[in-house]
Structure 1
Amino acid sequence: MKSLLVTANAESTGKTAITLALASIAQERDGSIGYMKPKGTRLQSNVGKTLDEDPMLAKELLGLDAEMHELEPVVYSPTFIQQVVRGREDADEVRKRISEAFDSLAADQDQMFLEGGGLSTGNIIDIADGDIAELVDAEVLLVCSYNRINDVDEVLAAVDDIGRDRLRGVVFNRVPDGVYEELEDDVVPFLEKRGVPVVGIVPREKHLAGVTVQELADELGADVLTDVAMDGFVERFSVGAMGADAALRGFRRTKDAAVITGGDRADIQSAALEAPGVKCLILTGGHRPSGAVLGKAAEKGVPIMVVQANTITTVERAEDVVRVGRTRDEQTVETMVELLRNHADVDALL
């Protein structure tokens, strides 16, 4: 029985989608597979319990019969961390819990897929991803982003953290077109000369790189004020807290962005509506914009939504929606399956 732990050197690299896609491919090949996420980090409240959304999605998509306490033996919540710091969690007991859950899930399976929770997450009680790989004797797939040449340092640091003896390979995911050639021609040969196998370069896929305006509005509980299309994709945010002229210059340099600003800042709102890369406006503080701004938004086809929270809280919540919202459903995983088949050495990964 083989085990593969999928980890990443940063957040929002597509780790969940890749883990579930590989498990799906292995399952399609008539292999019996198991899945677990030893540390539940993407938490939500569910029927009175705090659980990780990723194992719940895996349970549904892969048809798993396992119980949630096995799929997610450690709920890595702020409460758990506090208990660790106060000396109320025993490291050996926690590791035993993970090991026993793994053994139960792995029984009679051809391959186990483990979704990591972070290279550093869990260090306080010796359950970082490298520790877990050693605990269950798993090889490791490292998922990395690549946007500039400096990122090579981060990749090598992550490889050293994992240990080269356990490294199955590196997959670069969501690679922008502008750096794809540099990565393929220069960086990959450099890494392979350093003994780091690169098993995939997956290009950026727009539909996996953000959330729609409608999804963002739903997650924020926003009141949508315009009757225009809500299918635009948002990948980033721009906070309108400066003068109108400076704001317009900044907005024009961004793309696929939501502008978050106070509902009383008509000057910022008007400037945002002049920028082609702005996909929607999120107005904070419960303030509705003027009729002139609403009319201009309708003319430009730019959605405007209002939330009751302040700007700082809204920015934090919106960024969290985009960060964790990419692996949402079966279609997302199916898209990743095709991307891996076309841009990665799936045989090497499995």
Structure 2
Amino acid sequence: MRTLLVTATEASTGKTAVALALAELAAERGLSVGYMKPKGTRLQSNVGKTLDEDPMLAREVLGLDAEMHDLEPIVYSPTFIEQAIRGREDPGELREQVRESFDSLAEGKDLMVIEGGGKHTTGGIVDLTDPEVADLLDAEVLLLSKYRRGGDVDDVLAAVDDVGDRLLGVLFNAVREGDFDGLDTEVVPFLEGRDVPVLGVIPREQQLAGVTVEDLAAELSAEQLNDAPGDAFVERFLVGAMSGDSALRHLRRTKDAALVTGGDRPDLQRVALEAPGVKVLILTGGFRPPGAVVGAAEEKGVPVLLVQSDTLTTIERAEDVVRSGRTRDAETVAAMRDLLHDHADVEAILGDGEGGQLGDGETETRTDDDTDTDGADE
């Protein structure tokens, strides 16, 4: 049996979608596949009520019948962290708990896919960072990273050092079109020159990067004040706390954005409607805008959402919705599966690199220079 741990240089890098998509691809090759997320990091409250939908999605997508307490044995909440700092959590007992859950889930499996929690360093307080989990479970490590600027390579190299000899390779995810050339012609050769295999470059897809206005409204318990469609995607949030003229200059430079401002700022609301990149107005404090604003927004196809919370609370909640990937579902996993098939060396990831069984009766022998990143910039 092989064990593959999917970790990342930072949170919200697509670990769930990649982990489950790889599990699906392995299952299509005839392998019996299990899943585990040792540290639950997507939480509803500080006391540890878990909101982590990843294991539940894994059960749905992979047809698992495992119990949640095995799929996610540790709820890594702020309260848990505080207790650990105070010495009230025993790292040895926690490691044994993770190991026992793993052994139960791994019975009869050809491949276990382990999803990391947060970023690769999460869990250090109890000696359960992702590299330490990999050592505990004898796992190979696939390291995910985004790429926006050259300095991101520092984070990749630091994570590679932490993972050590268990590194299978690096997978760049959600890469914008304008960043492909530099990544392909400079960064990939640089990393491979340092003996860091790059196993794929996944392009950014809007379906996987944002949240629809409709979903956002549901998560914020917002009232929609007009009949504009809610299918536009939102990826960023702007706080409307400036004057109309300066706001317009700023708003015209953005795209796929939500403007969050008080319902008592009709001047700013009108200005926002002149910016094509603003896809929705989110009005806070329960203040209803003038009817003329609502009507103008509907003519332009811009939904107007009304929430009772203040602007800061609304921004924090909205950003959390996008970060936590609340749009993730079986369709999202299917989209990632297609992306991996087209832009990653799936055989290098799912094969054992030493003539290992791929699940279809064939074996593959891979040498160090068989890693293929061709097509990553297609």
Task: Return the TM-score normalized by structure 2.
Answer: 0.90
Residue 292 of structure 1 aligns with which residue?
A: 292
> Which stretch of the first structure deviates more once superposed, 142-151 or 326-335?
326-335
Partners of 1:52 and 1:75 within 8 A in 2: no
Any conservation in 2 of the 1:210–1:326 contact (CA below 8 Å)?
no
Alignment match, 2:361: none
How many residues of Structure 1 are paired with residues of Structure 2 in the alignment? 347
1:55 aligns with 2:30: no
Structure 1: distance between partners of 2:343 and 2:326: 19
Corresponding residue number in structure 1 for 2:133: 132
Between the aligned partners of 1:260 and 1:89, the Cα distance in structure 2 is 41
Match of 2:252?
252
Task: Give CA deviations for 1:1-59 in whole Å, capped at 9, x if unaligned.
Answer: 110000111122111100000001111111001100000111248xx953521001101
8 Å contact from structure 1 (residues 327, 333) kept in 2: no
Matched to 1:287, the amino acid is F
User: Structure 1 CA distance, aligned partners of 2:297 and 2:344?
Assistant: 43
Q: Note the residue ranges of structure 1 that are not aligned, 5 or more in a row.
A: none
The one-letter amino acid of 2:14's match is G
Q: Which moved more, 1:324-333 or 1:30-39?
A: 324-333
SS in 2 for 1:173: strand
Q: For 1:15 and 1:50, locate their aligned partners in 2 and report how far apart those are by CA, in whole Å.
A: 18
Q: How does 1:162-173 map to 2 (within 5 A)?
A: 162-163=163-164, 165-173=165-173
Q: Is the contact made by 1:43 and 1:77 (CA closer than 8 Å) also made in structure 2? A: yes
Q: Distance in 1 between matches of 2:41 and 2:327?
A: 14
Secondary structure of 2:313's match? helix
Aligned to 1:13: 13
- Per the alignment, residue 180 of structure 2 pairs with 180
Q: Please tell me whether residue 325 in structure 1 is matched to residue 346 in structure 2.
A: no
What is the one-letter code of the residue matched to 1:336? M
Q: Deviations over 1:275-325 (max 9, x none)?
A: 000000101101111112112101111000011111111111000101112
Taking the aligned partners of 1:252 and 1:39, their CA distance within structure 2 comes to 41
Deviation per CA, 1:242-265: give whole Å up to 9, x if none: 111111111111100011111111
Structure 2 residue 335 is matched with structure 1 residue 335? yes
2:207 maps to 207
Instruction: Spell out, residue by residue over 1:94-145, the C-alpha distance to the aligned partner (whole angstroms, 9 max, x if none).
Output: 1110011111111111010000002121111111111101111101001100
| Aligned-residue offset at 1:196 | 0.6
Contact 1:51 1:75 in 2 (8 A): no
Deviation at 1:177, TM superposition (A): 0.4
Distance in 2 (CA, whole Å) between partners of 1:96 and 1:51 is 24
Contact 1:43–1:53, Cα closer than 8 Å, also in 2 = no
Please give the residue correspondences for 1:1-350 in structure 2 after superposition, counting only pairs within 5 Å: 1-44=1-44, 50-117=50-117, 118-163=119-164, 165-325=165-325, 328-350=328-350
One-letter amino acid matched to 2:146? S
CA RMSD of aligned residues (A): 1.3
Residue identity matched to 1:77: S
Residue 355 of structure 2 aligns with which residue?
none
Query: In 2, distance between residues paired with 1:315 and 1:289?
Result: 19
Amino acid at match of 1:215: D
5+ residue gaps, structure 2:
351-378
Instruction: Calculate percent identity across the aligned residue pairs.
Output: 65
